[in-house]
Amino acid sequence: MKFGKEFTSQMVHEWQEAYMDYNYLKNLLKDILNFKKKNASLSEIADTPEGSLKRRISMYRAFSGLQSRYTSFKGNNNSNNHEDEVILVNTVQQEGPHQTMFLMSSEQGGEYEMVFFKRLDDEFNKVVTFYKKKVGQVKDEADELSKQMDALIALRIMVDKPSIDMHSAQGMDPASVVPLHLTSQLRSHMEVIQEVEMSSEEIVEDESTSGKRGTTKMNPMGFRPAPVEILDNVKINIEPATPMSTLKNVIKSAKSDLSFSRQELRKAEEQIRMAFVEFYQKLRLLKNYSFLNVLAFSKIMKKYDKITSRKASKSYLEMIDKSYLGSSDEVAKLIERVEVTFIKHFVNGNRRKGMKFLRPQAKRDTHRVTFFMGMFSGCSIALVAAIAVAIHAGNLLEHKDRGQYMDNIFPLYSLFGYIVLHMLMYAGNVYYWKRFRVNYPFIFGFKQGTALGYRQVLLLASGLSLLALAAALSHLDMDMDPKTRKFETLIELIPLALVIVLTLIIFCPLNIIYRSSRFFLLRTAWHCLCAPLYKVTLPDFILADQLTSQVQAIRSLQFYVCYYVWGNFRTRSNECLKSNVYQILYIVVAIIPFWSRFIQCLRRLFEERDSMQGLNSLKYFSTIVALVMRTLYSQKGGTFWRVMAASTSGVTTVANTYWDLVIDWGLLQRNSKNPWLRDKLLVPHKIVYFVAIVLDIILRLVWMQLVLDIKQLSFLHEKAFLAVVACLEILRRGIWNFFRLENEHLNNVGKYRAFKSVPLPFNYDEDKSH
């Protein structure tokens, strides 16, 4: 792989504007090369006779000897170096922009090289400025984490109350001291956590930071005072873990005093541990940023030397090595310190376990995943063909009981079709997000190394489709037993058994079938159901948006309950639609996802004071009204309900379409560099965006057919037509997902936001602490 591609592939994409523009500098070098080639060809044509004569004469020149030639070369080394000097590199400047003076500007083509060094300096100054800024930020974060650790250790002391022999503390007050190095004799008498041990490296650090401390006589047991008094100036700020705790938190106060409970300690430790892991990842990427840019400058200068046959790279690279970018070791020291602190305080000194937390390994795509994905997909295609052949051979489309089958059995299996189709769309999204370098694991907040790739998603989708299609093929019989006038019980229970199996897999606590992703999905779904009792995060409202496109799937689950509990599944009959309770629930279950989004927007409106969230809540409320009116029209009919359904649906369709294109996708900007799109686009072909805009508008209008009663296809049953409309909405949502996350990713890039902010548990009262 060429360095340019490798350089791009290893970038922190959210920082891409802050990296050295390697491709642009390489193009400037190409201009220099083209100029030299052009001049070289002209001079070769003009000087051919004289040049050939010189070459012939040189063949007869006296031989000066190998040794003397070498001596002469050594003797003129300094003069040659002086003659070869083409740039004047400033000494390292801690402040102010760096400038390089090109000394050969009077030569032919020197203006090209002047432009190159001017742009090279601009890129270097940009990189150094960004790096200094980021290092300053991580140093501030390190100070904040240090204060958090002080509070955490003090809280541990107050909660665990370690019993110690205070006589060995040289008469210090028991309330103001705590052992930081516990001997084996003390460990047998106390319940104490190893996080408050004082290791030898802490003593070394103290000696290096304070000249006096190195000579201070340590007490025999290695004790030193522990600042437990800082808890007087600290308030707890732990995100509520349950809806009840959220309500209590709202009633009491957003930030309460410490209660010194073990649960409080556990939550604080968990939050600080997450903060350390995130901080460590930031440090590693910052270190990699410095390394990559230094390497890029080295590569580009060597290319310059090769093209121009000069020797400018050595002096320029020496300047880079002495600069803040090349010489600063603050990030490396912070990395080492974070490793030591994390291993000692959060994994009981187990380095292997600690590094597993700090540097989680990304999942590798195995041949096993690809093999089973291919096998399941092939079997699913074969089953689709088998179902088509069975329907044609049995002439089932013309069967007298076709209507009964479509009303009772088809909705049961359509549920799996909706789920599989949504998973296939998500797999396609993941593939293209990865291809266009959209950082979807960061945006969704997945733990590092746990995000599923498109192959894993396709494996799950193909496995579920295989089970559902095999069950549907075995359930195609439309003829009941003429004696009992009932269908076979086991076959009729197959769809219910599939739902139970799928539910057990989702809730399975064992570490199988991507447990981390399953629990992430369950946790996010729970947050959606309990809105607004949880703080709204991007995964929460993204999942709620997905559920708004699965209304028919949610109604299919409702039908499962009615069909198998109150219906007579042995005779394939039900009276669900005749029940007033069912009809009311038919509306209620459909509006749950929209209501969840409505409440989420209201919470964000009050928390973030963002007026756009208020408008977004109105959009979802209008959708709820339109959904209710459309459902009432389908149940009751009549001109009044049809007018109400059509008018409310028209309003919400226009509002939702505008929001999709302008707000969620960031498109239709008149003054953009890309007319009617946006300034930055990840997909190189602009036609893709215009096609997506048209498709979104068309697919938004498809379900209006249900209101306007446009004549549907004659060969499609009503249930099948509803399924087709539902599938088109899932396709629209899949398209929406890609451009929604692309826009979110570009917003993160614009703000250089490559890391999630982890809330810290302790808030210091600055007034009391001073």
What type of residue is 621?
F
Residue 601 has pLDDT above 50, yes or no: yes
Work out whether the CA dihedral 540, 543, 547, 548 comes out positive or negative: positive
Residue 26 has pLDDT above 80, yes or no: yes
Q: Which contacts qualify for 307-312: CB closer than 8 Å, 24 or more apart?
A: 307/29, 307/32, 307/33, 307/36, 308/32, 308/36, 308/86, 308/113, 310/84, 310/86, 310/104, 311/84, 311/86, 312/86, 312/87
- What pLDDT is attached to residue 475? 92
Distances (CA, A) of 535 to 246, 272, 513, 604, 608: 9, 19, 28, 8, 11
CB atoms within 10 A of CB 626: 25
Contact of 598 with 617, CB cutoff 8 Å: yes
Q: Mind listing the pLDDT tens digit for each residue in 271-330? A: 899 899 989 999 999 999 999 999 999 999 999 888 888 888 888 888 888 888 988 889
Q: Mind listing the pLDDT tens digit for each residue in 513-555? A: 999 999 999 999 999 999 888 889 999 999 999 999 999 999 9
- What pLDDT is attached to residue 702? 83
Average pLDDT across the chain, whole number = 81
132: helix, coil or strand?
helix
Q: What is the DSSP letter of 101?
A: E
Q: Which range is least confidently modeled, 413-427, 490-504, 621-635?
A: 621-635
What type of residue is 575?
E
Q: Which residue has the tokens 């052009």?
A: 38
Residue 492 has pLDDT above 90, yes or no: yes
- What percent of the chain has a predicted confidence (pLDDT) above 90? 42
According to DSSP H, which parts of 226-364 are helical? Answer: 243-252, 262-308, 313-322, 324-327, 330-346, 351-358
223: helix, coil or strand?
strand
Contact of 736 with 425, CB cutoff 8 Å: no
- What pLDDT is attached to residue 69? 43
> CB within 8 A of 486, min separation 6: which ones?
480, 570, 571
Q: Left (φ > 0), alpha (ψ -120 to 50) or beta: where does 728 sit?
A: alpha
Q: How far is CA 684 from the centre of its chain?
A: 22
Q: Categorize the per-residue pLDDT at 84 as very low, low, confident or very high, splitting at 50, 70 and 90.
A: low
Distances (CA, A) of 164 to 205, 353, 494, 717: 26, 29, 65, 80
Give which of 636, 563, 584 is closest to 414, Cα–Cα.
563
Q: Categorize the per-residue pLDDT at 95 as very low, low, confident or very high, splitting at 50, 70 and 90.
A: low
Q: Categorize the per-residue pLDDT at 242 as very low, low, confident or very high, splitting at 50, 70 and 90.
A: low
Q: Which residue has the tokens 């080639």?
A: 37
Q: In this predicted model, which residue has the larger pLDDT, 479 or 59?
A: 479
What type of residue is 509?
P
> CB within 8 A of 759, min separation 6: which ones?
237, 239, 271
Q: Which range is least confidently modeled, 187-191, 242-246, 286-290, 729-733?
A: 187-191
Q: In this predicted model, which residue has the larger pLDDT, 606 or 760?
A: 606
Q: Residue 235: beta bridge partners?
A: 257, 763
Rounded-to-integer distance, Cα 169 and Cα 178, Å: 9
Q: Which range is least confidently modeled, 305-319, 405-419, 672-686?
A: 305-319
- What percent of the chain has a predicted confidence (pLDDT) above 70? 77
Q: Mind listing the pLDDT tens digit for each residue in 104-161? A: 665 666 778 888 888 898 999 999 999 999 999 999 999 999 988 888 888 888 887 7
- HEC assignment per residue over 732-755: HHHHHHHHHHHHHHHHHHHCCCCC
Rounded-to-integer distance, Cα 168 and Cα 186, Å: 11
- What pLDDT is attached to residue 732? 95
Q: In this predicted model, which residue has the larger pLDDT, 577 or 46?
A: 577
